[in-house]
A and B are shown apart, each in its own frame.
Chain A
């Protein structure tokens, strides 16, 4: 057993990349990684790869798509699909294999071509399975938590909107972010309604993107960099409101379970986290994630925002990259990109969004499957060794 370490990351600018094919995205992210490893990496060093995509583009993208995009034939490449936790679960699988000693130098690559086939998302609401989420879109699934949170706690519409304001402001300082503009609480409240109570600026955009990171053993880490980042813990869990727990109406028990697993493995708790990249597919998702990760008490997510704690200069900065709301959410790439951002933060390389000397960072996704009946969450914790 060894501790897995992240030793490199490569990311492309997220956006509406109509001029790039799905294969182009993968190739670009891979080349970006190869060029960014401090001491270099020879492709022949890579002995396994995990590929995250939910294949929104419907190109039948399996592990061999990554072989075609990178030239890594004859190497085991596994495609991972786990809803919006796809990228982070691909990373988790690579970390596990390195930890077990079965892989020594593992590539994690995530990509999604979202713009060519947006019906891939909206069509999920047209499921013909009775009662299994027919008529329920992604904004509806998360919006239902907003309605109940506003009802049950002292949460205000303005507090939810402020998360979008914060993340858009951060995004203007982060070069890879898709949506580079600032907005106000009033802008959020007055933008068109998508699914009451959520408006357009409460929702992440439709974005293409790809990202790759390199994971290796503690023993080999310094072949690639003098500044590796240790994978301290990870967790993965599912839940559904159908199980009847009251907290599943306002929050995500899957995040609570996944983060408990990750904290336990790492021997750390929420107070130890210095910076986090969390799943703000919608503004409300970030608010309830503060609570689910233990950054604040249940029902206090709104107050957490009011106190400025998740802001860039707060004591618990969340989504310095601009989050999904600004950066975009190319599903398979999202979790891998969050890992890359935490890697940059812990190495002090995050430029205009660098937070003050972080030692421990947390990455989180919460996703729902093609039907809206349940959620899956993945949490990874990285730390300076």
Chain B
């Protein structure tokens, strides 16, 4: 595919930045939005917020069948990433990496890791995956 689609989203793909709706408090991550997905405010006043590196698994699955370029078994979760300051967490998909399947559960703490998500054939496309924090590994 073309290059520009990644360049358009590069900043929030490479930084833990969320976009908080000033009307209702909803946090978008990593999409930079001018409309609010919760309250529908449009145009919405969105404020940049810094998200924490550590979040919590809300739910997950372990996939066995995926396109050939994605390794299996592939655990994927819905992760809540809190803000560094006050306010709601952001809720987003997270692919898990460098984690044993037995370590994964609802409520498990995970840390964001900057990793290659895929290659477009010419260059790696990098963003965040998640893993159980290393120091807590058995």
**Which A residues fall within an 8 A CB radius of B?**
119, 122-123, 125-126, 128-131, 133-137, 139-140, 143-148, 151, 192-198, 240-244, 249, 372-373
Bound-complex Cα distance A133 to B93 (A): 7
B10-26 Cβ-contact flags toward A at 8 Å (1 or 0): 00010000000000001
**Beyond A135-B74, A144-B60, A241-B78, 13 extra complex contacts between A and B, CB < 8 Å:** A128-B5, A130-B30, A135-B63, A136-B93, A137-B66, A147-B61, A194-B65, A196-B61, A241-B91, A242-B37, A249-B78, A372-B93, A373-B93
With A and B bound together, what is the CA distance between A238 and B118 in angstroms?
A: 29
Given A128-B118, A133-B93, A243-B38, check contact A144 B59 (CB 8 Å): yes
Does the CB pair B118–A197 fall under 8 Å?
A: no
Indicate whether A128 sits within 8 Å of B120 (C-beta atoms), given known contacts A144-B61, A193-B64. Answer: yes
Question: Given the complex of chains A and B, what is the CA–CA distance between A129 and B127 in angstroms?
Answer: 11
Answer whether residue B62 sits at the interface, using C-beta atoms and an 8 A cutoff: yes
Does B6 sit at the interface, judged by CB under 8 A?
yes
Give me 18 A-to-B residue pairs in the complex whose CB atoms sit less than 8 angstroms apart, sorted by A's number: A123-B67, A125-B70, A130-B13, A130-B117, A131-B13, A131-B31, A131-B127, A137-B65, A137-B66, A140-B63, A147-B60, A148-B58, A192-B64, A194-B63, A195-B65, A240-B37, A242-B91, A243-B37
Closest to A244 in B: B91
User: Please, which residue of chain B has its CB at the minimum distance from the CB of A140?
Assistant: B61
Closest to A199 in B: B64
Q: Determine the distance from Cα of A129 to Cα of B92 in the docked complex, in whole angstroms.
A: 14
Measured between C-beta atoms, what is the minimum distance from B19 to chain A in Å? 12
Query: A373 to B64, alpha carbons, bound, how many Å?
Result: 20
Chain B residues with CB under 8 A of A137? 63, 65-66
B110 within 8 A of A: no
Distance between A147 CB and nearest chain B CB, rounded to angstroms: 5
Q: CB distance A135 to B69 under 8 Å?
A: no
Known: A128-B1, A135-B63, A249-B58. A147 touches B6 (CB 8 A): no
| Contact of B47 with A by CB under 8 A | no
Q: Chain B CB within 10 Å — which of A194, A198, A244 has the most?
A: A244
Closest 6 CB pairs of A and B: A148-B59, A143-B61, A196-B62, A126-B67, A151-B106, A195-B63
Is B6 touching A130 in the complex (CB atoms < 8 A)?
A: yes
Interfacial chain A residues near B37, Cβ < 8 Å: 240, 242-243
User: B120: which A residues are within 8 A, CB to CB?
Assistant: 128
Q: Which of B63-96 contact A (CB under 8 A)?
A: 63-67, 69-70, 74, 76-78, 88, 91-93, 95
Name the distance in Å between B15's Cβ and chain A's nearest Cβ: 13
Kindly list chain B residues whose C-beta atoms are within 8 Å of the C-beta of A134: 93, 95, 117-118
B125 interfacial contact with A, CB 8 Å? yes
Most chain-A Cβ atoms within 10 A of its Cβ — which of B65, B106, B120?
B65
Q: Does B9 contact A (CB under 8 A)?
A: yes
> Could you tell me the distance in whole angstroms from the C-beta of A287 to the nearest C-beta in chain B?
15
Q: Which residue of B lies closest to A129 (CB)?
A: B5
Determine which of A125, A131, A242 lies in contact with B66 in the assembled complex, contact meaning CB atoms within 8 Å: A125
Q: State whether A145 and B91 are in contact (beta carbons under 8 Å apart), knowing that A240-B37, A241-B78, A243-B37 are contacts in the complex.
A: no
* Docked CA distance A112–B63 (Å): 26
Q: Which of B24-73 contact A (CB under 8 A)?
A: 26-28, 30-31, 37-38, 58-67, 69-70
Which of B59, B65, B66 has a CB less than 8 Å from the CB of A145? B59
Contact partners of A372 in chain B: CB under 8 A: 93
Contact A131/B93 with A140-B63, A148-B59, A249-B59 known, Cβ cut-off 8 Å: yes
Chain B residues positioned under 8 Å from A192 (CB to CB): 64
Q: How far is the CA of A140 from the CA of B77 in the complex (A)?
A: 9
Complex contacts, A143 vs chain B, CB 8 Å: 61
Give chain A residues whose Cβ lies under 8 Å from the Cβ of B62. Answer: 193, 195-196
Complex interface: chain B residues within 8 A of A194 (CB): 63-65
**A286, chain B: closest CB distance, angstroms:** 18
The answer to whether A147 and B106 touch across the interface, beta carbons within 8 angstroms, is yes
Q: Could you mark each residue 89-108 of chain B with 1 if its beta carbon is under 8 Å from any beta carbon of chain A, else 0? A: 00111010000000000100
Question: How far in angstroms is the closest Cβ of chain A from B13?
Answer: 5
Of A122, A140, A146, the residue contacting B76 (CB under 8 A) is A140
Asked whether A135 lies within 8 Å of B95 as measured between CB atoms, the reply is: yes
